[in-house]
Amino acid sequence: MRQDVIIFGPPGAGKGTQGALLAERFGLLRLSTGDVLRDAVQHGTPLGLEARRFMNAGELVPDAVILGIVGDHLRGPAATRGVIFDGFPRTLAQAQSLDGLLAQLGRTLGAVLVLEVDDETLVRRLSGRRSCPSCGALYNVYLKPPREDGRCDVCGADLGQRPDDAADTVRRRLEVYHEQTQPLLAYYESRQAPLRRVNGDRAVEAVQRELVGLMQS
């Protein structure tokens, strides 16, 4: 499928989870700006060094940095495939630049899929999230705890927490979402983009079924 899609929603709404499933199902490239930034932080690149302080404080990384990442991907690995944008755009400037970039490259935005989940559920999801630094398995201390506290069921390594999943930082990420990102919904509505709202507070499979249906409609 050669179609670009935005998966939109607050931190923890399930953008990464659902975006990865959609990418696999439809053969799309999932471009998560958060994943690109975390990879840069982990490798200590200049991009990572610049982004880390914003991310750990729950603030947005400057638009120019993000637009550089997206431009590089759209001109590179994504050139012949449809893209699922996960966690992008997050500001009006990013949304406007994306419109310009897509037009320049002869691409069209097929849909904006919006996952809706209330803030209290998101705080539990994110502050409870743990991951295995060794094999990548994901857990949640409230929703999907490991058999032994703090240890990976699969490989036995000590589990870690994303620095920005500390409860205070999660609350700041949610504030930033409501202040700077949620207003983009009005932007897309005013441009008559095909915007579809989905209840993200259901089982992963139920949310995925609805998203797949929307992608095919």
**Do the strands 129-131 and 138-140 form a parallel or antiparallel pair, or are they unpaired?**
antiparallel
Out of 8, 123, 125, 159, the only residue in the binding site for ligand AP5 (CB under 6 A) is 125
Chain-centroid distance of CA 212 in Å reads 17
Residue closer to ligand AP5 by CB (options 80, 175) is 175
Cα-atom radius of gyration of the chain, to the nearest Å?
17
Out of 143, 154, 155, 186, the only residue in the binding site for ligand AP5 (CB under 6 A) is 143
155 binds ligand AP5, rule: CB under 6 A: no
Out of 61, 111, 114, 123, the only residue in the binding site for ligand AP5 (CB under 6 A) is 61
107 binds ligand AP5, rule: CB under 6 A: no
Residue closer to ligand AP5 by CB (options 4, 80) is 4
Angle among Cα 199, 128, 60 to the nearest 5 degrees reads 70
Q: 122 near 170, Cβ under 8 Å?
A: yes
Annotated active-site residue 129? The verdict is yes
Which residue in the list 151, 162, 172, 197 is annotated as catalytic?
A: 162
Report the distance separating Cα 43 and Cα 146, nearest Å: 28
Residue closer to ligand AP5 by CB (options 30, 107) is 30
Task: Please report how many Cα atoms fall inside a 13 Å half-sphere around the Cα of residue 54, on the Cβ side.
Answer: 17
Residue closer to ligand AP5 by CB (options 107, 173) is 173
Residue closer to ligand AP5 by CB (options 1, 92) is 92
Report the distance separating Cα 59 and Cα 79, nearest Å: 30
Annotated active-site residue 90? The verdict is yes
13 binds ligand AP5, rule: CB under 6 A: yes
DSSP type of residue 87: S
Annotated active-site residue 162? The verdict is yes
Which residue in the list 15, 38, 107, 130 is annotated as catalytic?
A: 15
Annotated active-site residue 30? The verdict is no
Shortest distance, CB of residue 116 to ligand AP5, whole angstroms? Answer: 11
Name the residue among 137, 181, 142 with its Cα closest to residue 11. Answer: 181
60 binds ligand AP5, rule: CB under 6 A: yes
73 binds ligand AP5, rule: CB under 6 A: no
Name the residue among 128, 127, 135 with its Cα closest to residue 157. Answer: 135
- State the catalytic residues: 15, 90, 129, 162, 173
